[in-house]
Amino acid sequence: MLYQSTRGNSQPVSAAGAIKLGIAPDGGLFVPDRPVYVTAGELALMAGMSYQERAASILQLFLTDFTSGEIKDCVQGAYDREKFDVPEVAPLQKLDEHLYVLELWHGPTCAFKDMALQILPRLLPRAVKKTGEDREIAILVATSGDTGKAALEGFRDVPGTRIIVFFPARGVSEVQRLQMITQEGCNVHVVAVEGNFDQTQSGVKAIFTDPAVNTAIDRRGYRFSSANSINWGRLVPQIVYYFSAYADLLARGEIASGETVNFVVPTGNFGNILAAFYARRMGLPVKRLICAANRNNVLTDFIRTGTYDRTREFYRTISPSMDILISSNLERLLYEVTGGDAARVREWMGALQTTGRYRVDGETLEEIQTVFWSDFAGDPATMETIRNTYRQYGYLMDTHTAVGKYVYDRYVEATGDTGKTVIASTASPFKFNQSVATAILGEDAVRGKGEFELLEILSRATGLPIPKGLKDLDKKPVRHTLTVAPEEMKRVVQELLTRRK
């Protein structure tokens, strides 16, 4: 299988080439050059498999220049009990006869990004070797909070790599910030950006596509790659857990073979829900994909109207990982639903860059609305959902998962669809403990308390253990962290790559 650019002006590459490059030379994103299918019989067999076996079977369909032994080795190293605190890796919790929660946060950084960023650092060195690359890989990451820590942890001290993570200086929680700036490793760098996530992400993309910067770092013996979900090697492992959730429902007898389910996905950069879209295209029996947004509801407006308009006020919310107005992975969806029409994708992406908006045609919008439904939750509704879900089910969810639950309730009200539905839970509730504790305990109980004091308070109140990855962060030594303006990001990358490790 080869991978082609969504913008059509780059030569197709192997899976290893796509993983190594991260982004296509023409600024597009790599997508498979042909569809991949899983039969009903193969899906039934997954019901009796472990998560690791399910992952290997899915990844082999896409990473065709990797041997089965290589994939198995990567999978086993990524999803073991040392890294994940439950044997199921991504356990499925039942709330009622219709609703389930897929917990994707049992990895070392307590967020769903671990599901991909524990395996990408194992795939990337092999990809580099397969393509005959002799330069060191410089991995650039823009994060709205969770990707940064997961990437830093995953690539820590991986031979042949350096990693630079950029995060919006005032756009992440205190726990997320401390997770990044206390990261150990001789090959890691963390940089705060005086701007929002969209400015941070645009800055990283500009570095990737700047010939002068690429020439300069080439002279220093590096080439760039990405650990964001623009990298196919980051996205493809996320397809696995949708198949795994369905296989778990089959194994428990909750659904019959071929019965459709809905997935609700809290969404910012559109990567997580795009993985569900690819799973559906592969044959997973999915009825609707419900895109749950926060107050930065650019995706909800797009799915409803066909107009993508990022020229709007940006809001900082209590679900900061979704505070995004430029959803990069939407480009892949547009390519797929237009039958690979790279010319139209180039036109839309060009309009987004120059005017901040674009509008798709009616046929494309109809195709999208056949699969996707969307709504959004403001902060008050998110808090109320955390409180009501805990009271009704005894289930504690974080601010992003609560956005998903709120939007699911609106979906049922609007459509009457009470079919089996799975909400993707993207982070541990302890990672956003101030909001969660306030929601279930009240403002008086948390007033004047720091985030790390609240970890203990929340644990005592709920009987849930504090995740290992969040303990004693405030006691760990802090690395030297730069703070730069968005226009300084290119200079900083070049300076960091001239330093010795």
pLDDT digits (tens, 9 = 90+) for 36-66: 999 999 999 999 999 999 999 999 999 999 9
> How much is the CA Rg of the chain, to the nearest whole Å?
21
- State how far the Cα of 240 lies from the Cα of 235, in Å rounded to an integer: 10
Q: Tens of pLDDT along 408-455?
A: 999 999 999 999 999 999 999 999 999 999 999 999 999 999 888 999
Burial letters for 319-332: b for 16+ Cβ neighbours within 10 Å, e otherwise? Answer: bbbbbbbbbbbbbb
Cα distance between residue 346 and residue 352, in whole Å? 10
Q: How many CA atoms lie within 13 A of 128 on its CB side?
A: 22
pLDDT of residue 98: 97
Given this model, what pLDDT does residue 229 score? 86
What pLDDT score was predicted for residue 475?
84
CA distance 250 to 210: 49
Whole-number percent of the chain with pLDDT over 70: 99
Contacts of 91 (CB under 8 A, 6+ apart): 102, 103, 106
Average confidence (pLDDT) over 468-482: 85
Percentages helix, strand, coil for the chain (3-state, rounded to 5) are 50, 15, 35
Residue 332: name the closest of 34, 116, 31 by CA. 31
Q: Is the pLDDT of residue 70 over 80?
A: yes
Query: In this predicted structure, what is the pLDDT of residue 88?
Result: 97
pLDDT of residue 68: 97
pLDDT given at position 499: 66
| pTM across the whole model | 0.93
pLDDT score of 500: 54
To the nearest whole number, what is the mean pLDDT of the chain?
95
Residue-level pLDDT at 473:
83
- The answer on pLDDT for 469 being more than 90 is no
Could you tell me how far CA 342 lies from the centroid of its own chain?
A: 24
**Those residues with Cβ within 8 angstroms of residue 213's Cβ, 6 or more apart along the chain or in another chain:** 207, 490, 493, 494
Average pLDDT over residues 107-136: 94
Nearest partner of 264 among 394, 369, 366, 373, judged by Cα: 373
Which ranges in 395-468 belong to alpha helices (H)? 399-415, 433-441, 443-446, 451-462
* Other beta carbons less than 10 A from residue 256's beta carbon: 9
Phi-psi region of 258 (alpha: psi -120 to 50; beta: other; left: phi over 0): left
User: In which residue are the tokens 């010795």 written?
Assistant: 500
Q: 168 and 196 in contact (C-beta within 8 Å)?
A: yes
The confidence score (pLDDT) of residue 476 equals: 87
Instruction: Please report the pLDDT score of residue 145 as a whole number.
Output: 78
- Residue bearing tokens 């007898």: 253
Q: Which one-letter amino acid corresponds to residue 237?
A: P
Tell me: the pLDDT tens digits for 222-235?
999 988 888 999 99
pLDDT of 10 > 90? The answer is yes
User: Is the pLDDT assigned to residue 125 strictly greater than 80?
Assistant: yes
Instruction: Say if CB 117 and CB 438 are below 8 A apart.
Output: no
Lowest mean pLDDT, pick from 84-93, 137-146, 298-307: 137-146
Write the pLDDT tens digit of every residue in 72-91: 999 999 999 999 999 999 99
Are 166 and 193 in contact by the 8 Å Cβ rule? The answer is yes
Residues contacting residue 355 through CB under 8 Å, at least 6 positions apart:
311
Classified as helix, coil or strand, 355 is helix
User: What was the pLDDT predicted at 27?
Assistant: 92
- Amino acid 163 reads I
pLDDT of 329 > 90? The answer is yes
For residue 173, the model assigns a pLDDT of 84
Structure confidence by residue, pLDDT tens digits, 211-220: 999 999 999 9
